[in-house]
Amino acid sequence: MTNIIEQYGKYVMPTYGRQPVVFVRGNGCFLYDEEGNAYLDFVAGLSINNLGHCHPAVVKAAQLQMAELINTCNLYYTKPGGELADLLSNLSLGGKVFFSNSGAEANECAIKLARKYGHDIGGEDKHRIITLENGFHGRTMAALSATAQPEKQAPFKPLLPGFMYVPPNDINALKAVVDSSVCAIILEVIQGEGGIHPLDEDYLVAVRKLADEHHALLIFDEVQTGLGRTGKLFAWEHSGVKPDVMTLAKSLGGALPIGATVAAPEYSDVLGPGMHGSTFGGGPVPCAAAIAVINELTAPDFLTSVQIKGGYLRSLLEKMKADGLVSEVRGMGLMLAVDLPEPVAADIVAEALKNKIILNNTSENTIRFLPPLVVEEGMIEAVVEFLQTALSA
């Protein structure tokens, strides 16, 4: 383990605060280190492993496809890309899909689509994009410009022009800045990296109405919330507020890299030939894996089980709140967070790792729970029992 960590220190750019463990194998809800120790994973690779590690159906689909055709580039057609686009379209907005490799890239495509749409109907003046404070949309320059977190933006200024930020769940603040120059409003239905903060349903309804009034696209970033995480296939289904464009990634490929930008029919042809591209986007292998993922998620009762298990985890966390161990519980389905009375979240995460439990904190006060959707009740109980002990010490 020491040698691997030393290699990272010597040869890998230090852009991540990595935990001191080297994993060599994954299976279901567990990761295994070099000594064979099993760690119960309640982070799921930040929601890339929604079906758990190395799900058999995903592994089989990727292996079979890899033995037949790995990639051709996008100058040609391949079967998995067409089949996956068909599935995503018919399960969501009914329009067309652009495939990329990550959530940031999916959001870059959505931003370019919005700018092109604004240019088409209002000229260069219709270019402004509104996003929400505390939101997160990626780390490439356009996605970072849409990410209203000053500490992430500061080292890279000047950012791309034309972005404005308003507080979440404040419709009057949004109304004050939306006019004919706005081409899009981009938001997460539940702010993930910001600490699991859901947007109110009446707020989403009002944003939809405001976007329509000003001929602005409503874009939902479902990179973390999508694909079963909240107990619905997409988080917007809970409110019924449908976006014009939706972005997906993370768990779409069962942990293989793939992103998708899905547009409603009336916006599906805004970007034409040569206006956007991705060399590896929509490759046969991640698309084949993603088809397997979608088939598992849409199997009878699967999403219902996510709702049940999410409700159970929440009930145990709410009991901790009643006992004074946590100050707030937030989220939906198996996308939950607790706030702690004291800024000790990082210490709790470190202690959890020593106890062979993988947790994540989004701040010094917030612990985030993103277990695989196949988690079992006993695993939930084990994590909550650890938390109760650690927070009572």
Which residues are designated catalytic? 136, 221, 250
Residue 129 class from Cβ within 10 Å (0-12 exposed, 13-18 middle, 19+ buried)? Answer: buried
Element counts in the chain: helices (H) and strands (E) = 13, 17
Please check whether residue 345 is in contact with residue 365, taking contact to mean a CB–CB distance below 8 angstroms. Answer: yes
Alpha-carbon distance of 51 to 160, in angstroms, equals 36
CA distance 332 to 237: 12
Instruction: Write the CA distances from 379 to 45, 51, 211, 334, integer angstroms.
Output: 17, 15, 43, 13
Nearest Cα to 197, choosing from 107, 135, 150, 130? Answer: 135
- Going by the DSSP 8-state scheme, the letter that residue 227 receives in this structure is T
Three-class SS of residue 129?
A: strand
Q: Which two tokens stand for residue 212?
A: 């329509």
- Is the distance from CB of 148 to CB of 134 less than 8 angstroms? yes
Q: Do 298 and 91 touch, CB atoms closer than 8 A?
A: yes
321: Cβ contacts below 8 Å, ≥ 6 apart: 327, 328, 329, 338
